[in-house]
Structure 1
């Protein structure tokens, strides 16, 4: 797994697929416009899935700053450090959803980097892995496709909502000065090559 500001990437090395896990708590809850949910700040769009009854080995690193992967129910807390690979393991015997957080002060959104692990029976795990491998293969095939502008816009909107909106906001107004507004910016509107380069 790789820590990023502020999400985790889980790579299943032997099965040739990976995905990002982003906090999915609605921003309206964070801004007190909505009642807080049961798992406030501890919910994600894509949990890590592991089989029950088996020893699972984790290799950890980071892409930007030091993070720390922590799931209290597992008794596991391990630093993810850029340029280094740390190792830890767990064995979960009871199916369920287990929650934790990044426990290293990794930047302004440090508190928005939850860890969610779903432990499932082996048969269910194998089915999930087969689905993930199939989706990863479809994604690889899509890189060879000639896309229409509408298709590209739809995929771009999904990517923005998943990865960019947490800093630049859903409406593109940003969080200046650290995360400038994209809405109305000359970089986004006129300097396409510079924007792509960034």
Structure 2
């Protein structure tokens, strides 16, 4: 009888140690999974969610996250009048409801190969092609309005003119060549653009 109890105690102790070891392994596996999770992956999971972005050296942007490319996100303004493109390198922090933030830490969506290839340059070339008026905000909070004339691999050319005016030679008051690393936000004149 005593030996039976002794073996039961040993078995219980082994089970307890095994469960503790398994829990430690599960915790370590979760840490490893989280260590590989990128900001872009988490933001892609928040598509369709209202968020607020604090932008480095510029005003924040708030609205519904409409998409995430390889190095940028798109946001439709809460007011609906404007859309914005924010490069990932310009994001200081993201505010969202706690359930959304928790859900974003466990991505359910597969990575879209197309979204992975859609770089900031791709988006800016599309904006240039559509001739959409923009307000560009760069490091230090400096901003200009105008139309993107062309977008290269690491920079774009902006024809400066008054907001809401179409790009005409007579309306252009100057030109800027802007490097992507300096870009903080790009606000489109209209959400449809």
Which TM bucket (shorter chain)? under 0.3
Q: Which structure has the highest strand share of the two?
A: 2
TM-score (norm 2): 0.27
TM-score (norm 1): 0.27
Q: Which structure has the highest helix share of the two?
A: 2
